[in-house]
Copies of this chain bind each other. A is one copy, B any other.
Amino acid sequence: MTFKAVVFDAYGTLYDIQSVAAVTEEAFPGYGEIITQIWRIKQLEYTWLRSLMRRYEDFSVITQESLAYTLRVLGLAYDAAAFARIMKKYLHLELYPDAKATLAALKGRKLAILSNGSTEMLNALVKNSGIDRMLDATISIDSQRIFKPAPNAYTLIEERLGVRPSEVLFVSSNPWDACGAKAFGLKVAWIERVRPEAMALACVKSDVVPPLTMFKALRTQMDELGVTPDHCIETLADLPELMT
């Protein structure tokens, strides 16, 4: 299959949002991982809820509000400096190890990011991680004032890159995002980073299902939304062979 453009989701797809855990663990020993999991779930919920409520705020506001929720619910006291330190990490997330090599291998096509992140957050992130020069565009849904998976978000790809949806391969590890893009009419490669057998096994093996396993399940396993992505891959490095 030939694609004129390959467009990536950012958070969780090119960037490992779990890489925030080192900073949250330092600020709140013993809570690092659970903070990142609750934070992520609420961050996503708030994008959907605010979109439906027609009370759009950009992703930096939503990321702050979902972090505030998380720390409050866990009963963790904090000062403004600790909060700011955690938030700052969102501009310095780590790329997945195979991200740069994959972008390099796909050279020749239009390459872009389409993300819920605000323009400011995304520009800082791609620059800090050194992939700004590898991308033709870093597209924030900001201008539409509605988050993915609303169709209005995915229309920005054609608008900004001039490539029709059927000639775009959209790449996301987020099941709801992969489904939203497919429902919109893009070709979609979903990255299944956690295998279902491993997930089910982790649940069966323990008497009490461990919370992190369950939170990961909610984010990593394909959703039941009536659509199926075109491709299921395990990692970014599997992308180049989909091009041939």
Which residues of A does B touch, CB under 8 Å? 30-31, 34, 38, 41-42, 45-46, 48-55, 57, 65-66, 68-69, 72-75, 146-151, 176, 179-180, 183, 196, 199-201, 203-204, 207-211, 214-215, 217-218, 221, 223-227
Cβ of A183 and Cβ of B224 under 8 Å apart? no
Contacts of A183 in B (CB 8 A): 53, 55
Cβ of A200 and Cβ of B74 under 8 Å apart? yes
- Nearest CB of chain B from residue A98's CB, rounded to whole Å: 26
Distance, CA A148 to CA B211, complexed state (A): 28
Contacts of A51 in B (CB 8 A): 52
Say whether chain A's binding surface is mostly helix, strand, loop, or mixed.
Answer: helix
Distance, CA A225 to CA B64, complexed state (A): 11
Query: Given A34-B214, A225-B65, does the pair A48, B48 have CB atoms closer than 8 Å?
Result: yes
Tally of this chain's copies: 2
Centre residue among A30, A53, A196 by max chain B CB count within 10 A = A53
Query: Given A65-B224, A183-B55, does the pair A30, B218 have CB atoms closer than 8 Å?
Result: no
5 contacts between A and B (CB under 8 A): A34-B214, A49-B223, A52-B149, A65-B225, A208-B210
Cβ of B72 and Cβ of A209 under 8 Å apart? no
Contacts of A225 in B (CB 8 A): 46, 49-50, 53, 55, 65
A218 to B, closest residue via Cβ:
B41
Partner of A55, one of B50, B214, B226: B226
Cβ of A150 and Cβ of B52 under 8 Å apart? yes
Contacts of A53 in B (CB 8 A): 149-151, 179-180, 183, 225
